[in-house]
Structures are given as structure tokens and as C-alpha cells.
Amino acid sequence: MKKFSFGLLIVLVIIAGCCKKIEIPPVIKMEKYEPTAIVNVILKGAEGNLSGIATQRLIEFMTCEQPGNRILEIGTLENILEDIGSKEINLDAIKAIGEKYKVKTIIIGEIFISDVQPQMSLNFEFPYVSAKANVSSEMTVRLYETEFGATIWTGSSWAKDEVGNLSIFKNYVSFNAENPDDAYGNLVNELIKWATLDFRKTYECEK
């Protein structure tokens, strides 16, 4: 009887795993919001070249299933705000960016490095430690429309991964790998994959 029950359980599990899947289209259809401007991903809690790879991956993940949409890379937030004479991103700044670059929407992503646990390699010539580390991070991505300066979508994610080639100083951490894709590409991919899920199709079982 026990063998029969166990066998029945296996059959039921297999049947449940063979459900008919329905394709769910992306929540955000970029063709409605183009042309779009994208600001270089903002890195908080650290310094270095992580922003560059994150910006490119953000574009890739948003467009991999929605190719052909126009995205204009407009540089760092600091330079953009200086150009439009603003001190921060607010309603008026969003409108001004839209007017300057002739775009319908703006994408701004932020990565916050919240915790770094180094596996240290001491360097006695300079006041820092070169290390691999377990890094915890969070990401937020916002889509603004430029007519009214309103936020029309936001996505967020959290990830933890081991990364290499960090320089850990007394007061800050620097991502400075010669090959950032090898050093911390996995961390960036995880953050952006989940933060931008609404830009890609998903699947669910038919009820």
C-alpha cells in the first residue's frame, strides 16, 4: 500500500509539472514609451567601473525581447543635471531632460552596495586591501514620462554574490577590475534580470 501511495504521488507530481503553459506578454511595452533616454546607472555605497557594465546590461535586458526601440544614452546624472541647471531629479528636471533630448520617457537605475564581506589580501604599500568579497546589493529602476515628470513604472531587486578585484579603502569600496564582466558580471546580471522582469514575457500554467 505504501509503495502504491508513493507511486501515485510521483505520478501526480509529474502531471502537475506538465501543465499547459500560457505566454504572458511584457507588462511594459517599450514601443509606447519611445524614444527613451537612459541615464548611466548610479552607483551608491561604492565607486568604480560597475556603472558602465550595469548600464549596458540594463539596456540589453530591457530590449532582448523588444528589439528596435529607440534608446538614447545621455551620460551621467551629474553631467545631465549640470547641463539643465538643476541640483536634483525632480518634476522640473524630468521635463527639462525631455525637452533637451526630445524623448518621451527617461530610465534611471540605481545600485546600492549595502554590505561587503571581504576575503582579504593585504597590500602593505598602499592604504587599501585588494580582495574578493561577498557583496550584497539592491537595485531600483524607474521609468519617468517627460510631459508631466511623473513616475510611470518602477522595478527593484536584491542580490548577493562573490565578486573579485575590489579595492577596499578605509571609508569606501572601489570596483576597479580590468575585466568587470568576469569580476562582477554575475551580480549585475542578477540585479538587472529581476528588476526588469516587466520588460519580458513570462509563463504561467493554464487554470
Report how many helices (DSSP H) and strands (DSSP E) the chain contains, helices first: 5, 10
pLDDT value at position 180? Answer: 74
Structural domain including 67 reads: 18-111+137-158+184-205
Q: How far apart are CA 56 and CA 69, in angstroms?
A: 15
pLDDT tens for residues 4-15? 555 555 555 555
Q: How far apart are CA 192 and CA 54, in angstroms?
A: 8
User: In this structure, is residue 175 part of a structural domain?
Assistant: no
pLDDT value at position 36? Answer: 97
User: In this structure, is residue 167 part of a structural domain?
Assistant: no
- Nearest Cα neighbor of 78 from 51, 50, 113, 114 is 51
Write out residues in the chain with pLDDT < 70, as ranges. Answer: 1-18, 120-131, 169-172, 207
Q: How far apart are CA 104 and CA 32, in angstroms?
A: 9
User: In this structure, is residue 3 part of a structural domain?
Assistant: no
User: In this structure, is residue 62 part of a structural domain?
Assistant: yes
Domain count, the chain: 1
Please state the length of the chain: 207
pLDDT value at position 31? Answer: 93
Question: Which residue type is seen at 60?
Answer: E
User: In this structure, is residue 131 part of a structural domain?
Assistant: no
User: In this structure, is residue 48 part of a structural domain?
Assistant: yes
pLDDT value at position 171? Answer: 63
> pTM to 2 decimals?
0.80
Neighbours of 27 (CB within 10 A): 13
Residue 56's CATH number: 3.40.50
The number of angstroms, rounded, from the C-alpha of 162 to the middle of its chain's C-alpha atoms is: 17
